[in-house]
Amino acid sequence: MTVLGVLVAQNIAFGVIAAIMVFAALRLVTTRNVVHAALFLVVVLGGVAGLFLLMGAEFVGITQILVYIGAVVVLFLFGIMLTRTRIGDEEGTDHPKRLPAVLAAALVATITIYAVVTGFGDVELPADTRTTTAEVADSIFSTYIIPFEAVSVLLLAALIGAIAIARRD
Amino acid sequence: MLLNQFLILSAVLFAIGVYGVLARRNGVLVLMSIELILNVAFGSYVSSISGEVFALFIITVAAAEVGVGLAILLLLYRNRQSVDLSEADLMKG
């Protein structure tokens, strides 16, 4: 395929994934069925992984699928079951008054979109954005070694904290 | 492709997540919206190695956050038999 052909294909794929993600996110915050919300979360997170793969960031894309769709969503389903949220439509998932939330979200969207549009205008991404896993690993274990160790300790602390909070005694 | 395509998509999803956090009362649904907010940080990935590393860090931090968050919700449920956040008003002045 020509370079132009690849660009057109990338843009079409981006549009499809973006539309699916926005739809799923809207359903995620409006559905009354908690299990459906978890499944819509899967769609959004899968869309993010798809975008990473589209941009040639294979390692991050696969990690996204493993960590989120593999682990976090299962954790959510456990949370739903353990808190005995009713499976099926449920009353009282939303506040009765939603207008302030809509206004706050619209304000956030307006400000951030205005900021990125004025800030980045029409900056083009390079035609070839592929990166290899080896380059990512090199960067993590050289430039970002201290943040990497900090994140490791954070994970350990969160693990111990979660057990300490949730255990029965 | 334009950089802004990704940033604007991130901004829209972020705003949807903010709506979810504010409008939901069920604690599990609020946590899901927070996950959505954290996840749209893919906008930080700007086809550079540093962006990828930060995306990985955010994935890790979000996973830690959801673990602790669900533990807190379980405790709340155990003490009050409900995860309705508007009933958890002990510290409300």
Residue-range domain boundaries for chain A: 3-96
Contact yes or no for A22 and B83 at CB 8 A: no
pLDDT confidence band for A85 (50 / 70 / 90): low
- The beta-carbon neighbor of A14 closest among B5, B15, B47 is B5
The alpha carbon of residue B89 is apart from the nearest alpha carbon of chain A, in Å, by 15
Considering the domain A3-96 in this protein, what is its CATH number?
Answer: 1.20.120.1200
Q: Does A99 touch chain B (CB under 8 A)?
A: no
Contact yes or no for A117 and B8 at CB 8 A: yes
Q: Does B71 touch chain A (CB under 8 A)?
A: yes
> What average pLDDT does this structure show over A12-40?
91
Residues A45 and B62 sit within 8 Å (Cβ to Cβ): no
Instruction: Tell me which chain A residue has its CA closest to the CA of residue B18.
Output: A105
pLDDT in tens, A43-61: 999 999 998 888 888 888 8
DSSP A66: I
Instruction: Tell me which chain B residue has its CA closest to the CA of residue A162.
Output: B68
- When the pLDDT of each residue in chain A is averaged and rounded to a whole number, the result is 87
Share of chain A above pLDDT 90, in %: 38
For the stretch A99-137, what's the b/e string if a residue is b when 16 or more beta carbons lie within 10 angstroms of its beta carbon?
A: eebeebbeebbeebbeebeeeeeeeebeeebebeeeebe
Looking at residue B13, what is its pLDDT?
A: 92
Helices (H), chain A: 3-30, 34-54, 58-64, 73-82, 99-120, 133-140, 145-166
Residues of chain B found within 8 Å of residue A57, distances taken between Cβ atoms: 45, 47, 52, 55
Instruction: Tell me which chain B residue has its CA closest to the CA of residue A34.
Output: B29
> What average pLDDT does this structure show over A148-154?
94
Coil, strand or helix at A169: coil
Instruction: Tell me which chain A residue has its CA closest to the CA of residue B56.
Output: A60
Contact yes or no for A72 and B62 at CB 8 A: yes
Q: Which helix (H) or strand (E) holds B56?
A: helix B49-80
Residue B24 CA: distances (Å) to CA of A29, A117, A159, B77, B84: 8, 30, 27, 17, 9
pLDDT under 70 in chain B at which residues? 42-47, 93
Structure pTM?
A: 0.89
**Domains present along chain B, CATH in parentheses:** 3-84 (1.10.287.3510)
Q: ipTM of this model?
A: 0.89
Which of A30, A47, A39, A56 has the alpha carbon at shortest distance from A127? A56
CA B73 to chain centre: 15
Q: Does B47 touch chain A (CB under 8 A)?
A: yes
